[in-house]
Amino acid sequence: MNPIRSRMIKAAARAALAVLVLALPGLAQVPASKPAGTPPPALLTVFLDWPGADIEAIRAEIPFVAFVPSPDGANVRVVVAPLGPPPEGRLRIEVAGLGEFQGQDNVLTYAPGRDEKPGEVRKGVTALVRLGLLRYAAKTAAAKDLSIKFLDQAKPTAVNDRWNFWVFSLSGNAFLSGETQYRSHSYYASVSANRTTPALKIRTQVYGNWSGSWFDLGDGTSYESSTHGRGASGMVVKSLGRHWSAGGYLEAEASTYSNLKMSLSAAPALEYDVFPYSESTRRQLRILYRIGLTRTRYYEETVYFKTSETLFQEALSVAYEAVQPWGKVSLQIEGSHFFHNVKFNRVELEGGLEFRIWRGLSLELDGSYSRIRDQIALSAAGYSYEDILLQQKQLATGFDYSFSVGLSFSFGSTRSNVVNPRFGNGGRSISISL
């Protein structure tokens, strides 16, 4: 071997050995670990800043995190905003770590296709958000259940929720008017408590209404009238699979207007959804059948010479609902009749629109129409002019209709990732009718 070449090889070997010796201390070091006894969080907490987003749909599609209403206490903040002028249509998805994840940030971009519908854009953006959250979720207790999809071993209810997944709503409105010879007032209030999990859905409500009028007849006499009503209702639904559900209703009602001293009803029910319940955040087509027993006592004897009676009744309803980024639209038709005489029947049509304004605040429009043939509670005592003009008692009719406009605001558990559409919605929210 050439002596010069030999000396060059030996010099290179000595240099490599020196580098290896210097690197050994670094290779021997082990990164510091978290203090022993500090368990990882159960689910990643995320604050989503996406104006107009359908948070219920996003919760259903990203079940391995818990969405919270503010950055306080969140592990990650996600901001979705337009990127450039509106015609471009692109969206910027900024994923920023908070707290222990501070500094671990990422930015993604979604460019919708020319023919993509709003629902498809939402699903595309949600898919990118889901990918952006995986790096953080891998450091939570849910990491063991993460794969190509979120495995069912980690339930959406496996979070520390101080509300225990109960959502409470208050509703109330008042109307007052008057002049020198006339005064009128009416009030309505209700409280509801609802709990939803994948296996069980509970809806409860208590309500009351009061109204009254006063007239000065101008000859030294006056006339005063009032009506009131109250009631409570409950619904429990058990999930039976992707399309089927079973449950029941309980209801108690009293009303001077309807001649009901007390009415108690119980009705088991069965429902089938043409679409899988997993698609409820986009669309539903539910067919519900119920059969029930009602025990009623009346204030006054009815036109059928009854002061109390027990009746069996059945009903079939079909409800359709579609959800869009701006809100939702719903339509329902129901037919019912009493078994002792099928001529006592009713057909009801209801529709509604909901426009999302900001977070839990929404504008609601509702309307209904009914063809009525089942007024078995009408009083046999007849009606005075005052009863008719002041609507103190329910009158015989072949139809009725209604329309309402209101604002609703919901609060309570914001940590639940559960979406359960079975048997419809049930409870109400804070409502101010216009």
pLDDT band at 51; cut points 50, 70, 90: confident
Q: Is the pLDDT of residue 151 over 70?
A: no
How would you classify the pairing of strands 44-49 and 65-68?
parallel
Distance CA 197, CA 412 (A): 15
Please tell me which residue, 341 or 141, carries the higher pLDDT value. 341
Average pLDDT over residues 11-35: 42
pLDDT confidence of residue 199:
85
Q: What is the mean pLDDT of residues 209-233?
A: 89
Span 64-82, pLDDT tens digits: 888 888 888 889 999 998 8
Entry pTM: 0.56
What's the pLDDT band for 427 if we cut at 50, 70, 90?
very low
Q: Identify the band that residue 138 occupies on the pLDDT scale cut at 50, 70 and 90.
A: confident
Mean pLDDT of 320-348: 92
CATH class of 44-145: alpha beta
Is residue 234 scored above 60 in pLDDT?
yes
pLDDT of residue 402: 94
Q: Which amino acid is at 384?
A: S
How confident is the model at residue 207, as a pLDDT? 96
For 160-197, the pLDDT digits (tens) are 667 888 889 998 999 999 998 889 999 999 999 999 88
Q: In this structure, are residues 230 and 208 in contact, taking their beta carbons and an 8 Å threshold?
A: yes
If one compares 341 and 29, the residue with the highest pLDDT of the two is 341
Tell which wins on pLDDT, 309 or 281. 309
pLDDT of residue 15: 47
2-6, 70-74, 224-228: segment of lowest average pLDDT:
2-6
Question: Residue 387, exposed/middle/buried by CB under 10 A (0-12, 13-18, 19+)?
Answer: middle
Amino acid sitting at position 342: V
What proportion of the chain, given as a percentage, has pLDDT over 90?
Answer: 41
Please report, for the chain, how many H helices and E strands are present, in that order. 4, 19
CA distances from 417 to 43, 58, 176 (A): 11, 9, 41
pLDDT at 312: 96
Residue 306: its pLDDT value, please? 94
User: Is the confidence at residue 23, as pLDDT, over 60?
Assistant: no
Side chain identity at residue 159, one-letter code: V
Residue 408 in tokens: 């609703």
pLDDT > 70: what percent of the chain? 79
Instruction: Name the band, by pLDDT with cuts 50, 70 and 90, for residue 6.
Output: low
Q: Is the pLDDT of residue 434 over 50?
A: no
Can you tell me the mean pLDDT for 390-404? Answer: 87
Which residues are CB-neighbours of 162 under 8 A, at least 6 positions away?
none
Please give the pLDDT value at position 117.
79
- Contacts of residue 286, Cβ cutoff 8 Å, sequence gap at least 6: 271, 272, 273, 274, 318, 319, 421, 422, 423, 424
Q: Mean pLDDT of all residues in the chain?
A: 81
pLDDT of 260 > 90? The answer is yes
DSSP structure string for 140-191? SGGGGGBSSSB-TTS-TT-S--TTTTEEEEEEEEEEEEEETTEEEEEEEEEE
Q: What confidence tier does 428 reach under pLDDT thresholds 50, 70, 90?
A: very low
Query: What average pLDDT score do residues 111-127 get?
Result: 82
Residue 58 predicted with pLDDT over 90: no
Determine which helix (DSSP H) or strand (DSSP E) holds 55, and give its type and residue range: helix 55-61
Instruction: Report the SS3 class of residue 215.
Output: strand
- Other C-beta atoms lying within 10 Å of the C-beta of residue 84: 10
Residue 244 or 55, more confident: 244
Instruction: Return the pLDDT at 149.
Output: 54
Domain boundaries, the chain: 44-145, 166-433
What's the CATH fold of domain 166-433? Porin (2.40.160)
Tokens of 64: 């391995």
Q: List b or e across 319-342, with b for residues whose CB sees 16 or more CB atoms inside 10 angstroms.
A: bbbebbeebbebebebebbbeeee
pLDDT at 430 (0 to 100) = 35
Mean pLDDT of all residues in 308-330? 91
Sheet hosting strand 105-110, strand order edge to edge = 65-68, 44-49, 76-82, 91-97, 105-110
Which residues fall within 8 angstroms of residue 120, CB to CB, at 6 or more apart?
Answer: 112
Strands 182-196 and 44-49 come out as: unpaired
- When pLDDT is cut at 50, 70 and 90, the band that residue 158 belongs to is low
- pLDDT, mean of residues 332-360: 92
Question: How confident is the model at residue 33, as a pLDDT?
Answer: 41
Q: Is the predicted pLDDT of residue 426 greater than 60, yes or no?
A: no
